[in-house]
Each structure stands twice: as structure tokens, then as C-alpha cells.
Amino acid sequence: MAVQLFNKTSFSATYQKGMIPAANEIVQLILSYVEKKTNGRALEMAVDVGCGTGRYTIPLASHFKKVLGTDISVSQINVAKEDSTPKNVFYLVAPAEKLPLRDASVDLVTAGLAAHWFNFDKFASEAIRVLKTNGCLAVHAYHPDMDIEYNDLSHELNVVLSEVWDTLYQYDDEKVTENMLSQYQQIFQAVLLKDKEWITNVPVTIQMSVSDLMWYIRSIYMSEAFMEKNIIKAEEFFIKTEKKYSINDTRLLNLPS
């Protein structure tokens, strides 16, 4: 299964270096919903499920007394622990479908760029079990349909990006692709809660250099699957792609997601 790629120490390091950073727009959207639901009560605990290397775990630290990040991958958790973390942030290896938490003990359960890997029905049941009354469940991901904006070269740069996706989709996981391209529609429908919102097309702009963009491409799980299939062909693909983008490595690209 593709999810096993995240158990590789080398890929976890690449993922930490290259995956796009946490979007403040998404974090604030989640926190505003939590505040609305909890009526301003003191927030005791949040759990970030499928936390990976902790990109979306750390931004929660200043808003909760305690934040727990869980992931099934030992290597991802190890990388998360190596990073400088606030004292109220903790990490545990645990499956999304069996959270090491008491009933009604959590104010927020969140999963960023991870829920498409879960047995979602079991995860949703677990999330509901551990949430306090009026607690919140938030799952989110980015849509892979991105655009690069750079002066009068945007079209040419996006043609290259389209070629990248055409290549990488040959190594995708059908379930993951379906969920992300549908903007989590099936996952939203599977949440058995009456009070819920499906929010799509949140604009996020990230400034990246060509080097940053190439690390991002390498951090996509499909790139690692490509590497496992044919490392020589994959490396040739990365080199050719970088050459196409290397107008000048010191010039910056805007990559909205």
C-alpha cells in the first residue's frame, strides 16, 4: 500500500523538508469554528491525527493547554520529535482508528492532509467518541490543481507543472486521488454529525523558489512510489523538470493551493 511509503526514514525527511507549510488561512478557519462551537470556553486539548512531521500540530500549541499529535508512522513521529516544539506539544505513534484518549476528553480532533489514508468510518467514530460536547472535528487537505504565477511566464511554468502531474499520477493511489480531487466530498458525507460544514476553494498563496518547488515535488508520495519503481528514471525526471523551471533559481514563484 502507498501509505507504507511514509514509514521510510528517508522519505519522512524529504516530506519534512519539501511538503508545503501549514496554511495560516486553514488554521484560522478551524480555530474560528472551534471558538464558535465552544462558546469561548477554555480549550484544554487538541489532537492532530495523522500528524506526520507536525506541520499542522505546532500552530495549535498557542490555542490549547495541550496538543497531541498521532501518526501510524514511527519515522514521521521521530522527525516531528526532532523539531523544536512547544512544551505543551506531545507525539505518539497510534492509528487514526484507535486513539489513545478517554471518552469526551478533547476539544478538537483534526487531520490535515491525512484523512484520505484512514479507514474513515472507524476514524470518525473514534473522533466522535473522544470529543467533548460541542467539540469539533476538522479534516482538510489541499487540492492538487495548483497554478504557478510568475510575471509573463505563468503559462509556460504551468505547462511544466501539468507534465509533472501527468507523470506522477501514474504512481497514485486511486482512493487518495479520488478523495483529493473531489475535495473530500465523500469524507464529508461519511461524517455522521448534523452540524457540519463543507468548505472548498480556500485560496492560499505560497512563495517558493525553484529549489523549494522541486523539494515539494519530491515530497509527494507519488514521487517516492516512482523512486521505488525505477529510481534511475525518477531521478532523470526530477533533473529534467528542474532544468525546465530553472529560469534563475534566485527568482521566486508564487504557488497558490
How would residue 128 be classed by pLDDT, with cut points 50, 70 and 90? very high
Q: pLDDT, tens digit, for every residue of 192-204? A: 888 999 999 899 9
Residues 114 and 137: their CA atoms lie apart, in Å, by 13
Residues 152 and 145: their CA atoms lie apart, in Å, by 20
Q: pLDDT, tens digit, for every residue of 17-45? A: 999 999 999 999 999 999 998 887 889 99
- pLDDT above 90 as % of the chain: 73
Residue 75 has a pLDDT of 96
Nearest to 161 by CA among 113, 114, 208, 118: 208
- In the chain, how many domains are there? 1
Nearest to 109 by CA among 37, 5, 181, 183: 37
SS (H, E, C) the chain: CHHHHHHCHHHHHHHHHHCCCCCHHHHHHHHHHHHHHHCCCCCCEEEEECCCCCCCCHHHHHHCCEEEEEECCHHHHHHHHHCCCCCCEEEEECCCCCCCCCCCCEEEEEEECCHHHCCHHHHHHHHHHHEEEEEEEEEECCCCCCCCECHHHHHHHHHHHHHHHHHHHHHCCHHHHHHHHCCCHHHHHHCCCCCCCCCCCCCCEEEEEHHHHHHHHHHCHHHHHHHHHCHHHHHHHHHHHHHHHCCCCCCEEEEEC
Residues 257 and 251: their CA atoms lie apart, in Å, by 20
Torsion of Cα atoms, 35 then 191 then 119 then 4, to 10°: -40
Positive or negative torsion for Cα 237, 238, 239, 241: positive
- Do 8 and 75 meet the contact criterion of CB atoms below 8 Å apart? yes
Q: Indicate whether 252 pLDDT > 60.
A: no
31: amino acid identity, one letter: L
Residues 196 and 60: their CA atoms lie apart, in Å, by 21
Q: Are strands 205-209 and 252-256 parallel, antiparallel or unpaired?
A: antiparallel
CATH number of the domain within which 179 lies: 3.40.50.150
Q: What domain range is 47 assigned to?
A: 2-256
User: Does the global pTM surpass 0.85?
Assistant: yes
Residue 251 has a pLDDT of 46
Q: Tell me what the mean pLDDT of segment 54-62 comes to.
A: 96
Residues 250 and 212: their CA atoms lie apart, in Å, by 11
Nearest to 73 by CA among 156, 23, 169, 8: 8
